[in-house]
Amino acid sequence: GWCPLSPTGAQTTQLLVEPPWRPAVLWNRVTLTCQGSGTAGATTWYKDGQRWGQQGHDSFTVTESGTYTCERPSTGHSPPMTVINDQLVLQVPARALLKGDTVTLRCRD
């Protein structure tokens, strides 16, 4: 993805998920938090590609499945985060994983 350069180096908008597991599952009471530089509260949210209701809030608890992104004025759009409503899921940690890492999987139903 594209990210602007600033005097301190590359800046990007990040979308954090809590609890920190992927895929994010609706019944887990998922909270999304948008992180990027610029004014606090200047977040624009998108759901399934459309501007969506939680404007101005940097975090919220998801109540509908879908694919979410956020935008911050200085750092642009975040990568997408999909929240699903499946009844049985195999989850992996939401952090970046590297070859050779030991990974805990969890099966949730």
pLDDT tens for each residue of 66-87: 999 999 888 889 999 999 999 8
The answer to the question of residue 29 being in a domain is yes
Contact 53, 68 (CB under 8 A): no
The answer to the question of residue 5 being in a domain is no
The answer to the question of residue 2 being in a domain is no
The answer to the question of residue 63 being in a domain is yes
User: If DSSP codes are grouped into helix, strand and coil, which group holds residue 108?
Assistant: strand
- pLDDT, one tens digit for every residue, the chain (109 residues): 444 444 444 578 999 999 999 999 998 899 999 988 777 678 999 999 999 876 778 999 999 999 999 998 888 899 999 999 998 999 988 888 889 989 889 887 7
| Tally of structural domains, the chain | 1
Beta bridge partners of 31: 18, 61
The answer to the question of residue 8 being in a domain is no
pTM for the full model?
0.80
As to burial, measured by CB atoms within 10 angstroms (0-12 exposed, 13-18 middle, 19+ buried), residue 98 is exposed
Assign residue 42 the CATH number of its domain.
Answer: 2.60.40.10
Which H or E run includes 95? none
